[in-house]
Amino acid sequence: MNQELQQRLLAALARPGLAWKTSLNHEIHEQASLQWLPIANVTTANIELGIASDACWLRATSHSVTRFSEGKPCVFLLPVLEVEIHELVRLFEYNLQKKGLSTEFVKTFPFEEVVSTGLESHSEHWTALALKWAEQLPPSSKLQASLSVLASNGPTQKIRQAGQKLLAQQQKPRAS
């Protein structure tokens, strides 16, 4: 992730006037609370997303919030795959702008991690949706590793073949 962009988001979140919510942190069992800014209520996927005061994306439920952190599977974010990626980006941009935040902060959302988690989920539903998103993301070593796993261990032959095809496309040298 772009650390400079993450730092700018952190600075932008420090400005006064933002409508923060406070919820229990799902990951900490001592009833610790977490401040967060609602960004998008994705009704078609029945998921509410926001940004914590430390600039980490999270999913909110009626009882608590779960933060995304590097290196941890983000299974709790998989429902966003049910929305077209361009629709989700548009929703994020609209709501960030409405809160007076830069639309460039959309780039801090863990799109690649969500896709990788979906590709490695062993669920026909999530892998099929993650493949659609993967087609729209730039090639990366993380995605290629997940596609490689999917190509050999996907839940169905059709999905394994789709993973193999996309992996081959991503590994082709780009014309300059």
Q: What is the pLDDT of residues 10-50, one digit of tens each?
A: 999 999 999 999 998 887 755 688 899 999 999 888 899 99
pTM of the full predicted structure?
0.91
Q: What is the pLDDT of residues 134-167, one digit of tens each?
A: 999 999 999 999 999 999 999 999 999 999 999 9
Residue 1 has pLDDT above 60, yes or no: no
**DSSP H or E stretch at residue 170:** helix 157-171
Query: Distance between CA 62 and CA 83 in Å, rounded?
Result: 21
